[in-house]
Amino acid sequence: MRAHEAGALHGDIGSRPPWLRPPGEVNALVPQLWPRNVTRAADGALAVAGLGVRDLAAEYGTPVYVLDEDDLRSRCREFRAAFPDADVYYAGKAFLCRAVVRMIAEEGMFLDVCTGGELATALSAGMPPERIGFHGNNKSVAELGRALDAGVGRIILDSFAEIDRLTALARARGVRPRVLIRVTVGVEAHTHEFIATAHEDQKFGFSLAGGAAAAAAFQVIDEDVLELRGLHSHIGSQIFDANGFEVSARRVLGLQAQIRDARGVELPELDLGGGFGIAYTTQDDPASPPDLAKRLRKIVDGECAAEQLAVPHLSIEPGRAIVGPAVFTLYEVGTVKDVDGIRTYVSVDGGMSDNIRTALYDASYSATMANRASTAEPMLARVVGKHCESGDIVVKDEFLPADVQPGDLVAVPGTGAYCRSMASNYNHVPRPPVVAVRDGRARLVVRRETEEDLLALDVG
């Protein structure tokens, strides 16, 4: 069912999701929803890595994205430990800035980028180019040329036009870049329609069922300019069920066997993509990295045995699963409005310009009072933004203390992925800053935009 064009749950009244229950303790934090170093201090306010959110708000203003740096780093280490013989690429589209590039590089990660801007950010932060994979369904000649000149480690081919384009560029430069073929395997993950990226009717990759994927591989092998290392499959986002990966691996390894039989080439690599889910609310139950590793390796080992293939070197691409839980957004309440006993709207000083996912994907989030504890009864509320849209919703339904009032701080967890990276200047609202906190100290890693920034682009 399509969402109303004015936004998620436009006109919906007097209901709440069945899984949302009044909390026994309105001040309690649900651990799986929050960065690992977030606590509620003795004075009732939230603190991250020992630093109180009231101090953060006073210094950096609101809204502000707050990154728990040790949480992000620990998730990098957990994925690397779970996949010791694989290349673990951080999917930069989830959120990228130079500080995050340096963090993931220091933790031994690889990096997946999908535009020239992301590539520029990675290179400017010192990411070793051989540890970068370059995605994208419409890479320009300039972008491909820059990737070749930088020595990017893997370029993921997405169309016949791109094969021709990259082949010409590589031949002219006398280089032999390592490439993967992105295969659409006809698996639709259990996810929102717009982020299910592996069914056939979509813009990414080469169709397996129609024979385009095999033809692409044969072309690269026969022209012998690009070095075909393997195949790539990505089946969606916010995935909790491994069944889709099982079907995907079976089909893509079947293609690998077909390539072996037709050209005598056994490709040494396989990239299973990412899309691993996180907990946005208590209804979400994501798998741990060790559990993911166990299930994916069992799938690949079994399919390789069935096809009599050597087990390829694996790659995976977690993005949301690393940065998503490591960040929360801190807002200040501006108005609290009860609408005829139907619903209480808690308006904050951000909204769809800093988190479009609720309006775009009908995504669910949680929230809590952040600046103090409360003894008031829980009240079902909707946290909304300041934009001129009825669908400007941050949290569709949440129990907040009934005494929430203007000036209070509200924190929304799980906002590390696809919030700052998809942020906009709708209604000419400047985008919020990103502040990293570690060991009781905060540092600005992305500064707040200003009205001067907006006006500087307006040359009229």
Phi and psi torsions of 396, nearest 5°: -65, -45
- The beta strand positions in 186-284, using DSSP E, are 206-207, 227-232, 269-274
Instruction: Evaluate whether 196 touches 183 at the Cβ level (below 8 Å).
Output: no
What residues have CB less than 8 Å from 387, skipping those under 6 apart?
Answer: 351, 352, 353, 426, 427, 429
46-48 and 38-40 beta bridge pairing: antiparallel
How far apart CA 191 and CA 198 sit, in angstroms, is 11
Lowest-confidence segment of 112-126, 233-247, 440-454 by average pLDDT: 233-247
In degrees, rounded to 5, the angle at the alpha carbon of residue 180 between the alpha carbons of residues 144 and 361 is 80
Mean pLDDT of 47-71: 98
- Which band of pLDDT confidence, cut at 50, 70 and 90, is reported for residue 36? very high
Positions marked catalytic: 388
Mean pLDDT of 39-52: 96
pLDDT tens figures, 166-217: 999 999 999 999 999 999 987 766 555 554 454 566 788 999 988 999 999 9
- The yes-or-no verdict on residue 7 having pLDDT over 70 is no
122 closest CA partner among 151, 85, 84:
151
Mean pLDDT of 388-405: 97
How far apart CA 58 and CA 55 sit, in angstroms, is 5
More confident residue, 25 or 48: 48
- The yes-or-no verdict on residue 95 having pLDDT over 70 is yes
- Residue 418 Cα distances to 4, 125, 127, angstroms: 21, 21, 21
- The yes-or-no verdict on residue 1 having pLDDT over 50 is no
How far apart CA 358 and CA 454 sit, in angstroms, is 25
Instruction: Evaluate whether 371 touches 45 at the Cβ level (below 8 Å).
Output: yes
pLDDT tens figures, 320-366: 999 999 999 999 999 999 999 889 999 999 999 999 999 999 999 99
Mean pLDDT of 82-98: 97
Strand partners for 270: 231, 314
pLDDT tens figures, 135-168: 999 999 999 999 999 999 999 999 999 999 999 9
Mean pLDDT of 243-265: 91
Instruction: Evaluate whether 155 touches 144 at the Cβ level (below 8 Å).
Output: yes
The pLDDT assigned to 8 comes to: 47
How far apart CA 454 and CA 449 sit, in angstroms, is 8
The pLDDT assigned to 2 comes to: 42
Name the 3-class secondary structure at 410: strand
The pLDDT assigned to 240 comes to: 78
Phi and psi torsions of 24, nearest 5°: -70, -30
How far apart CA 458 and CA 460 sit, in angstroms, is 6
The mean of the pLDDT values for the chain is: 93
- Residue 119 Cα distances to 134, 151, 186, angstroms: 8, 12, 29
The pLDDT assigned to 186 comes to: 79
The pLDDT assigned to 239 comes to: 79
- The yes-or-no verdict on residue 242 having pLDDT over 80 is no
- Which band of pLDDT confidence, cut at 50, 70 and 90, is reported for residue 264? very high
Question: What single-letter amino acid sits at 14?
Answer: G
> b/e for 299-317, b at 16 or more Cβ within 10 A?
bbeebbeebebeebebbbb
Phi and psi torsions of 346, nearest 5°: -105, 110
The pLDDT assigned to 6 comes to: 47
**How remote is the C-alpha of 301 from its chain's centroid?**
28
The pLDDT assigned to 11 comes to: 46
pLDDT tens figures, 327-336: 999 999 999 9
